[in-house]
Structure 1
Amino acid sequence: MICRSVDVYYGEDQAIFNVSLDIGRNEVVSMIGPSGCGKSTFLRCLNRMNDTIEICRVTGEIALDGENIYGRNIDVVPLRAQVGMVFQKPNPFPKTIYENVAYGPRIHGLAQTRKETDELVETSLIKAGLWDEVKDRLDQPGTGLSGGQQQRLCIARTIAVSPEVILMDEPCSALDPIATAKIEDLIDELREQYSIAIVTHSMQQAARVSQRTAYFHLGYLVEVGPTTEIFTKPRHKLTEDYITGRFG
């Protein structure tokens, strides 16, 4: 995914300034920075979630497979299957565990028969590291799972429609340390098949899960580079001040 000169406006106010950033195949890019710096706003541009906000306007180019996702002929429904989103708070549908995962493949025509649907549900739950915990209760409500399990169910729901890119907006902020560790391990496994962009408040998490890290400040992308370099030899004083805890 290639982003060039992206600006975001809410009415007259500009929230994102001239951001250019690539999200490569088989890599995790972490976006870090203080609250209100534009990380989540930028992330939401990548699958046009900001379209749901009337006063929001996005300019610049965001390309997936060489096509500008803001082009006039782009249908956002298949786009949001290609670029899936996992939110801060787990949000399973008020349906069974099975139906949560089967819903997307059905509406996108990815599964024609019950057998195909069963296989997709099982494969997605296996990839999300949840199958062994739920395989005997697929007909029970997804909302009855623990917080960490619900978040993995939401990840299974996202990957069931075969996305290219997975966006994660602070996916562990509502979870305990054990559930967080499971999600982080999962992110590392999913990287083998998907491009992943994650917004996180936790610098330790960014250091653990990502290959590259982007530091945002007041709507600007201050710097982006290999995660180890950003945390040990940042080029910009703003980045260094944030990482060493001088502000944030």
Structure 2
Amino acid sequence: MQIRFWNEYTTALSFMTRLGSPRMCTNEEIAATMRQFFAVGLTVGIVITLPFAVGAFSHHPWVQAWLWVFLSIWVTRALHWDGWADIWDGWGSCAQGERFWEIVKDSRVGAFGAIAMVIGILGQTILAHELFATNNWQVLIFAPIAGRVASVIIGHLSDAPKSSTQGRLFLQGATRQTVVIQTTLAVITGTILCGLLPTLYTTLLCALMLWSYLRLAKLQGGINGDFLGATVIGGELAAMLAFLI
């Protein structure tokens, strides 16, 4: 059991961050990483927040906030930001069906994707500043957890379009048991780090985000990996905003 957990965890780290050693993965291994999204989120949260928790740039919350966002992007290789921009490009275009997926899969960033990147990065920087300025850095450990667990939930609630390959593999791992376990762990961790009410607000904001994405997915015939990435970013923003409500 421990060996399986460790193998799944290191595979998830390798795929989703710079913290693991890159390697080829089987389809089953990719699907199994869904069981480790909570653990990966916790790891990322600790790694990018710990330097500031112990006092780095303690008198400069704007610098802390900027560096926190930078470290988040660097550690994850901007993997989720790519999905965030792609989905907003497709969403903003009002295209449907095959044309929507052409826009989402286009490696170039369009106007809506660029706007979303500015709003997302600026939003995380401002929210992180407020949290550092009020000495509530523990919320920034929870935010990466909330985003990744939210992506497990949307993976369970939707199907992949016929054209999706990698996204379909991830969705296969988003079983009901995985959702229940990951969500329970996230709620417990959120309550410990942030308190019960902020965790409730996070849940409500994430539910609103998931409802919006699922409406879009229903219209377009399913979700792919870009939807999962967009959900991670949206969930992080939701957790940070929820604490400040």
TM-score, reference length from structure 2: 0.31
Provide TM-score, normalisation by structure 1: 0.31
Structure possessing the higher radius of gyration over alpha carbons? 1
Structure number with higher strand proportion: 1
